[in-house]
Structure 1
Amino acid sequence: MDSWHATHYLLTEDISSWEECQIPFIVARKKENNRLLINAVMGRTSIEGTKGSFKDFGPVKYLVPSETQQISKALLQISEKEFAKRYEEACVLNPDVYRTLWDEEVDEYWYIFQCISEYYRIAAEETRGMLLYLGCFYGVDFMWEMQD
């Protein structure tokens, strides 16, 4: 399981993949537990014709500036304590699906969350939209010669 997928789950409780994700733009509180659900990883609207090679997960998606601002505000509402609770629940409720959550430390996902939050904060502050894209990176495709 990739960290982007686990991060998406920790924010939305949605287990669908990039290609399958059909959840709309969401920044909403879940009725059952008043948990804030935020679609900050998988985006909203796909840009047609942007599906690349076999190494890509799917099309480029985008958020308009107002959506970026809403997401930024919502991300800032999640405390480290709440994030840790989400992480613990994911490990218990979905051990087969999110096996990497058992192997990783909550601190690593908290750091990823903080990076995402900061990225959205800066974009929102500058009234920017957001492009979201996932693709595979294979180091062998970009190997550089070591120079002495």
Structure 2
Amino acid sequence: MSMIGNYLLVDEETINGIKSGKIDISEFLYDTEHSDDEYLDIDKSWHAIHYILCGQTWEGELPYYNAVLGGTEINDEDVGYGPARYLTPSEVKEVYEAIKDITKDEFKSKFDYKELAENDIYPKFDSNDDADYVWSYFAEVQEIFRKASLNGKYMLIYIN
């Protein structure tokens, strides 16, 4: 089984509906059509992105921590690998401001497949050539945070 990182832009009404139980989170995530403008799948790159941003396996400093593993659990329902988490529009904006200017060269310079392996970063990478794979998804993370920030959206983050 693969562990896939996901982002979904939503409005306050949806967040409140999920929190109150009026909206079933699993149905919303898996049985509702979401446009490419509001949904992003970052495949297996999520853990490497977190590590490169935070320099730690599971912890990290805000706002970088919120880019992948942060946020507030929306409820206790397991949606794949634990509960979904959400970021408020102000948290989304903080993350965007922190990550928007990270360049490809800067990001890739922090990618060391041996270091990732020593820290049990998922998945196992075979060479530093894998940096392009991780960068391509990080660039998409930058873009979805830009969209969410510009539109005042909440963001659901989950791993399935």
Task: State which of 100, 106, 109 in structure 1 corresponds to 2:134.
Answer: 109
- Taking only aligned residues, the RMSD between alpha carbons, in angstroms, comes to 2.2
1:70 deviation in Å? Answer: 0.8
Question: How do residues 37-76 of structure 1 correspond to structure 2 at under 5 angstroms?
Answer: 37-52=64-79, 56-76=80-100
2:51 aligned with 1:9: yes
Q: Please say if residues 95 and 102 of structure 1, whose CA atoms lie closer than 8 Å, have aligned partners that are also in contact.
A: no
2-side partners of 1:77 and 1:38: how far apart? 16
Q: Give distance in 2, aligned partners of 1:77 and 1:67.
A: 17
Tell whether the 8 Å contact from 1:38 to 1:75 is kept in structure 2 after alignment: no
Tell me the equivalent position of 1:80.
104
Shift of 1:94: 3.7
Write 1 or 2 for the structure with the bigger share of helix: 2
Structure 1, 107-116 or 38-47: larger mean CA deviation: 38-47
Pairwise CA distance, 1:102:
3.0
Structure 2: any 5+ residue segments left out of the alignment?
4-43
Structure having the higher Rg: 1
Q: CA deviation at 1:65?
A: 0.2
Could you say if the C-alpha distance between residues 24 and 63 of structure 1 is closer, same or farther in structure 2, counting changes exceeding 3 Å?
A: farther
The separation in 2 between residues aligned to 1:25 and 1:68, in whole angstroms, is 15
- The normalised TM-score by structure 2 is 0.63
Give the C-alpha shift of residue 24 in structure 1. 7.3
Cα displacement string for residues 94-124 of structure 1 (whole angstroms, at most 9, x for unaligned residues): 4332473334521111110000100000000
User: What SS is found at the alignment partner of 1:15?
Assistant: coil
> d(CA) in 1 for partners of 2:96 and 2:83?
23
- What CA distance in whole angstroms lies between the structure 1 residues aligned with 2:102 and 2:157? 21
- List alignment gaps of at least 5 residues for structure 1: 17-22, 28-36, 136-148
Q: Is the 8 A contact 1:64 1:129 kept in 2?
A: yes
Change (3 A) 1:47 1:24: farther
The change in CA–CA distance for 1:82 and 1:71 in structure 2 (over 3 A counts) is same
Higher RCO structure, 1 or 2 (CA under 8 Å, sep 6+)? 2
1:95 aligned residue (101, 117, 131): 117
Number of matched pairs:
115
Q: CA deviation at 1:38?
A: 4.3
